[in-house]
Amino acid sequence: MSDAERYEQAEPAEGDSAGAFGAEAPNAEVLSAGLLLTPARPANAFEETVQRLLQSIRLGLIGPGERLPAERELATMLEVSRDTLREAIASLAEAGWVVARRGRYGGTFVSDELPVALPASRGTADDPFVTSGQLEDTLALRSVIEVGAARRAAESELSGNDRERLWQAYEECSASTGDQYRMADSRLHLLIAEVLGAPSVIPLVADVRMRVNELLDGIPLLAPNIAHSNEQHRAIVGAILRGSPDEAASAMAEHLEGTEALLRGFYA
């Protein structure tokens, strides 16, 4: 039985008197729990769904042992498909944030014991965890550098060899799994910086990729996110090869926003 099927079976029946957040949850808690369960943007629906659920849990709006809203209600709140929601919940279950329980009063519940805080990226002995400032600095730097790199690469006169290398890097990334994926992902992004013909940009991209990878190493690899990233990689590379700067920049920005949503969910 798949994760999605287990969560479907665990969903409380229509009209269940326990309600979306459990029988004992007062109205005030219902209102507060929904504060962050706002619609996800379609471009990165999976990543933003994970982010919103994680933030609601980590900020205590849905506390340990409390039940998430029923699947249909939660999908409506987030304005995502039930398939996307199931993928997000299954990913959080795999990471230890939620559990499924069966029966009339079953559903998806926040774990009684939440995963420990994530390891630091560029932290110190006195401050071992990622700060909001560190996270936002890294994400802002990445956006400035990599969106610009994609635009300039699309504006560049690429040689036949460079065009072939870009497409090959995309295909290798798309075919990679597990521990190999992040390396292939990094190679593709570095190659985009290389083919634009400005050597000074390459170390900047390499540095920001190191910082981002340190953050990504602290969160689980989520299969739906990987599949989505590969679709976005294809859009980025395709726009560069067609010589469409605006399209390349837009595709890269959308791609980075998906990663940002996940990192803010796990760290912010």
* Region 96-107 average pLDDT: 88
Judging by beta carbons within 10 Å of its beta carbon (0-12, 13-18, 19+), is residue 26 exposed, middle or buried? exposed
Of 110, 143, 163, the one marking the end of a domain is 110
What digits encode the pLDDT tens for the residues 157-214? 999 999 999 999 999 999 998 778 988 898 899 999 999 999 899 989 988 988 898 8
Rounded distance between C-alpha atoms, residue 119 and residue 36, angstroms: 24
Question: pTM for the complete prediction?
Answer: 0.72
Q: Note whether 40 and 103 are same-domain residues.
A: yes
Q: Note whether 146 and 252 are same-domain residues.
A: yes
Does 122 fall in a domain? no
Rounded distance between C-alpha atoms, residue 50 and residue 90, angstroms: 10
How far apart, in Å, are the Cα atoms of 43 and each of 142, 157, 212, 251, 258?
19, 29, 21, 10, 8
Q: Tokens 């809203």 correspond to what residue?
A: 69
Instruction: Give 267's pLDDT tier (boundaries 50, 70, 90).
Output: confident
How far apart, in Å, are the Cα atoms of 250 and each of 12, 18, 35, 87?
41, 45, 29, 26
The pLDDT assigned to 73 comes to 93
Rounded distance between C-alpha atoms, residue 263 and residue 215, angstroms: 7
pLDDT above 70 covers a percentage of the chain that reads 81
Write out the residue range of the structural domain in which residue 103 sits: 3-110
Instruction: Tell me how many domains the chain contains.
Output: 2
- Is residue 126 pLDDT above 70, yes or no? no
Does 125 fall in a domain? no
With b for 16 or more beta-carbon neighbours within 10 A and e for fewer, the 234-255 pattern comes to: bbbbbbbbeebbebbbbbbbbb
Does 123 fall in a domain? no
Q: Note whether 138 and 204 are same-domain residues.
A: yes
Instruction: Give 152's pLDDT tier (boundaries 50, 70, 90).
Output: very high
What digits encode the pLDDT tens for the residues 11-42? 444 434 344 444 343 333 333 456 567 788 78
Q: Note whether 141 and 258 are same-domain residues.
A: yes
Q: Which residues pair with 98 in a beta bridge?
A: 110
Does 177 fall in a domain? yes
Does 115 fall in a domain? no
Does 27 fall in a domain? yes
* Region 223-246 average pLDDT: 96
Compare 115 and 162 and report the one with higher pLDDT: 162
Q: Which residues pair with 99 in a beta bridge?
A: 109
CATH number of the domain enclosing 89: 1.10.10.10
